[in-house]
Amino acid sequence: MFKSINILAIETSCDDTSIAVLKNKKILSNLISTQEIHLDYGGVVPELAAREHIKGIIGLIEKALEEAQTTMEEIDFLAVTKEPGLVGSLLVGNNTAETLGRIFKKPVIKINHLIGHVYANFENTEPKFPFISLLVSGGHSQIIEFTNYFESKIIHETEDDAIGECYDKVAKMLNLGYPGGPIIDKLAQKAENKVKYPMPKINLEKNFSFSGLKTHVANIINQANMKNEKIKVNDLLNNFQQAAIEQLLTKLSQSIENKQYKQILICGGVSANSYLREQITLRYSMHNIIMPKISLTTDNAAMIGLAAYYKIVKETNATN
Ligand code: KG4
Ligand code: ZN
């Protein structure tokens, strides 16, 4: 039985090293070190990502503990992202957690990265079952139903690219920088809507699919280049974004039809998108909608700590 639970959480599934310290669900620190090295390569290089994690992880743990005014001795549990992600990157996080666990005699809780994204929503609210979650990130586009803390079923997922990947690739076509999602989000808001770029129709029968949309945007850009025509970039991005988000909302609406979900959540990097947030708020105002705060949408260790907190409380019956 624990009076309160202090958790040190580690997230190294891709190219960000993140360390968080939580006291129960209260986030005392949540540091993210973004690896700039990949900018020169136009995408994440797995081998380099693992090496950068190794270089930075211990220093970041020290900083996160210091910011939380805590020491390793005061930590009760370590939490770490188990999967999915880049193998080498995950290995660095898991080895670090295991080693610290052995040295300081603390249990290590292994968390699925996607579950972490979902639990980013439960910092200030408790889960109520059944709930449904739209998980949209650089690697995943899924609608998941949760009937219990860690019992879930995927209702929709992508047949090809993830939506975040699609945003990133469209931004790359236009040389806008990486990651493309936040850049497109901002530029789409500046659209003058002088030119309407038609987008492909949504296939109501199928799962998510974003590669056709990406190719469609590539064709628009190529054709304009061939004809030496100037593209209204912000207008194009606005039309692209509306089509991409509409797909999410159409499938989400289909999924909640005739169902009694107690909560509707969004999570993952793309859940930071302002148009998605606006439309969710507008269209599902009759429902109990939960969105994580922006700092918890993209990859971070606090979400892993939150999922671990619920796992510890549910599996060991620890109380606050
Ligand atoms: O969850 P995340 O940090 O990493 C994965 O688990 O994949 O998500 C990263 C993705 C990137 O593709 C990024 O472009 C996208 O989230 N993203 C956004 C926004 N902020 C981040 N996409 C659209 N609008 C945003 N505001
Ligand atoms: Zn993620």
Task: Tell me what the pLDDT averaged over the chain comes to.
Answer: 95
The sign of the torsion formed by the CA atoms of 179, 19, 144, 14 equals positive
Q: pLDDT for 21-41, tens place per residue? A: 999 999 999 999 988 888 888
User: Which pLDDT value is given to residue 43?
Assistant: 78
Residue 299 near ligand 1, beta carbon < 6 Å: yes
Going by CA atoms, what residue is nearest to atom 21 of ligand 1? 269
User: Which pLDDT value is given to residue 103?
Assistant: 98
The sign of the torsion formed by the CA atoms of 23, 28, 32, 33 equals negative
Q: pLDDT for 119-173, tens place per residue? A: 999 999 999 999 999 999 999 999 999 999 989 999 999 999 999 999 999 999 9
Q: What is the pTM of this model?
A: 0.95
Residue 161 near ligand 1, beta carbon < 6 Å: no
Going from the Cα of 298 to the center of ligand 1, the distance in angstroms, rounded, reads 6
Secondary structure element (H or E) that encloses residue 87, with its range: helix 87-104
Kindly tell me if the per-residue pLDDT of 5 is higher than 50.
Answer: yes
- State residue 90 phi and psi, 5-degree precision: -60, -40
Kindly tell me if the per-residue pLDDT of 193 is higher than 70.
Answer: yes
Can you tell me which atom of ligand 1 is nearest the CA of 162? 12
Going from the Cα of 163 to the center of ligand 1, the distance in angstroms, rounded, reads 9
How many other CB atoms sit within 10 Å of the CB of residue 129? 13
User: Which pLDDT value is given to residue 315?
Assistant: 74
User: Which pLDDT value is given to residue 318?
Assistant: 56
Residue 270 near ligand 1, beta carbon < 6 Å: yes
Query: Three-state SS for 254?
Result: helix
Contact 164, 181 (CB under 8 A): yes
Residues 6+ apart with CB under 8 A from 80: 9, 10, 11, 93, 94, 96, 97, 108, 109, 110, 111, 304
User: Which pLDDT value is given to residue 39?
Assistant: 82
Residue 181 near ligand 1, beta carbon < 6 Å: yes
Instruction: Report the pLDDT averaged over residues 221-238.
Output: 97
Tokens of 53: 């994690």
Kindly tell me if the per-residue pLDDT of 2 is higher than 60.
Answer: no
Going by CA atoms, what residue is nearest to atom 7 of ligand 1? 138
Kindly tell me if the per-residue pLDDT of 197 is higher than 90.
Answer: yes
User: Which pLDDT value is given to residue 320?
Assistant: 44
User: Which pLDDT value is given to residue 117?
Assistant: 98
Going from the Cα of 111 to the center of ligand 2, the distance in angstroms, rounded, reads 12
Kindly tell me if the per-residue pLDDT of 3 is higher than 80.
Answer: no
- pLDDT above 90 coverage of the chain, percent: 91
